[in-house]
C-alpha cells in the first residue's frame, strides 16, 4: 500500500492476489469524500489511513466487495454518511459471503446502512454528478466533477480490452453506459483498478472501439450459424486461470453471451 496526491485528490494504491494474478486497487479521497472503501481483508492495512483523514461522506460506485467491503467498518468507526445507488440500498444491509476465490482476494462483506444517491453529491468545494452506468453491475454509478473535468469511473474502464466477465455482467448494457460516459465533459479518469489517466476520454473511446469491433465479429460468427460456445472458443481461445479457480463464475463466455 502507498498513498499519493493528484490535483488535491489523495489516493491509496495497492496490489493484491496470488502468482501472476495480482490486481491493482485504487481508493480516492477528495474534499472529505471517500470514493469506494476497499475490501474487508484490508481493514488493518487501511484503518490507520481512514482514521487519520477527514472522511465525511463515502460514495460506493457499486456493491462489490473490493469497493464496499469496508463500508460497515467505516460506518461503525468513523460515522461517515454512505451513499449507493437506490437499487442497492436494501442489499447493502445484508452480510455477504462469497466463494473461496473471492474471499481469498477480498474477504466477505458486512452489511451497512446506506443512503440513495441524489443527482448530485456535494462536498464543501465540489459537486459530483451521479450518473447511473449499469453493465458491470445493475447498481454501478460514475461520479463527474465537471468544473475540474474529473470522472471517477469505478469499474467502467479497468482496461482497454475486456477478456473476462462475471456471470452477472451484461456487455450490451456496458456498451450503452460507455457511450453515455463518452458524451460527458471530462478529461481526467480515475479508475478503481488502473489508476489515474489524464487522457481519460481517449481511454473510454478506445474501450468502446474494442467493444464495437468485438460485437461486429460476434454478430458475423452468429450469422454464420455458430453457437455462442463455439464463438467463445474462437474469439477468446486462451482460457484464464481465474475461470477455473472461480468454477466458471468469471469467464469470457459471459462477454459473448451478453453481446
Q: What is the pLDDT of residue 87?
A: 98
Q: In what order do the strands lie in the sheet with 9-16?
A: 2-6, 9-16, 23-30, 33-35, 57-59, 81-84, 115-116
Cell numbers given for 210: 474494442
215 close to 175: Cβ distance less than 8 angstroms? yes
Q: What is the pLDDT of residue 1?
A: 87
pLDDT at residue 19 above 80?
A: no
Rounded CA gap, 242 and 100, in Å?
Answer: 12
Dmax (CA) for the chain in angstroms is: 60
pLDDT band at 105 (very low <50, low <70, confident <90, very high): confident
Rounded CA gap, 136 and 171, in Å?
Answer: 8
Residue 23 sits at the vertex; the CA angle it makes with 18 and 26, to the nearest 5 degrees, is: 140
Kindly list the domain boundaries of the chain, sorted by start residue: 2-257
Question: At the fourth CATH level, which superfamily is domain 2-257?
Answer: Ribonuclease Z/Hydroxyacylglutathione hydrolase-like (3.60.15.10)
33 close to 121: Cβ distance less than 8 angstroms? yes
Residues 6+ apart with CB under 8 A from 48: none
Rounded CA gap, 173 and 62, in Å?
Answer: 15
pLDDT at residue 18 above 70?
A: no
- The stretch 219-229 carries a mean pLDDT of 98
In this structure, what are the phi and psi dihedrals at residue 141, rounded to the nearest 5 degrees?
A: -130, 160
Q: What percent of the chain has pLDDT over 70?
A: 98
Residue whose entry in the numeric block shows the C-alpha cell 440500498 = 89
Over residues 119-167, the pLDDT tens digits come to 999 999 999 999 999 999 999 999 999 999 999 999 999 999 999 999 9
Query: Which range has the worst mean pLDDT, 3-17, 133-147, 204-218?
Result: 3-17
Amino acid at each position: 500500500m502507498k498513498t499519493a496526491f493528484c490535483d488535491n485528490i489523495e489516493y491509496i494504491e495497492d496490489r493484491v492476489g496470488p502468482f501472476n494474478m495480482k490486481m491493482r486497487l485504487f481508493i480516492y479521497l477528495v474534499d472529505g469524500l471517500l470514493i469506494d472503501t476497499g475490501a474487508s481483508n484490508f481493514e488493518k492495512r487501511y484503518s490507520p489511513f481512514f482514521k487519520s483523514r477527514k472522511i465525511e461522506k463515502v460514495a460506493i460506485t457499486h456493491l462489490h466487495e473490493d469497493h464496499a467491503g469496508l463500508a460497515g467498518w467505516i460506518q461503525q468507526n468513523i460515522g461517515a454518511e454512505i451513499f449507493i445507488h437506490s437499487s442497492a440500498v436494501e442489499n447493502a444491509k445484508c452480510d455477504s459471503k462469497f466463494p473461496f476465490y473471492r474471499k481469498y482476494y477480498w474477504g466477505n462483506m458486512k452489511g451497512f446502512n446506506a443512503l440513495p444517491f441524489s443527482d448530485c453529491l456535494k462536498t464543501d468545494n465540489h459537486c459530483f454528478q451521479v450518473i447511473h452506468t449499469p453493465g458491470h453491475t445493475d447498481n454501478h454509478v460514475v461520479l463527474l466533477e465537471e468544473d475540474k473535468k474529473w470522472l471517477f469511473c469505478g469499474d467502467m474502464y479497468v482496461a482497454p480490452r475486456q477478456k473476462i466477465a462475471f456471470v452477472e455482467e451484461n456487455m450490451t448494457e456496458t456498451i450503452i453506459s460507455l457511450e453515455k460516459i463518452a458524451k460527458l465533459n471530462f478529461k481526467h479518469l480515475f479508475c478503481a483498478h488502473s489508476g489515474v489517466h489524464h487522457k481519460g476520454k481517449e481511454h473510454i473511446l478506445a474501450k468502446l472501439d474494442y467493444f464495437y469491433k468485438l460485437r461486429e465479429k460476434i454478430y458475423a460468427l452468429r450469422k454464420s450459424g455458430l453457437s455462442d460456445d463455439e464463438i467463445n472458443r474462437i474469439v477468446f481461445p486462451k482460457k484464464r486461470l481465474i475461470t477455473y479457480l472461480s468454477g466458471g463464475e468469471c469467464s469470457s463466455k459471459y462477454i459473448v453471451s451478453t453481446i
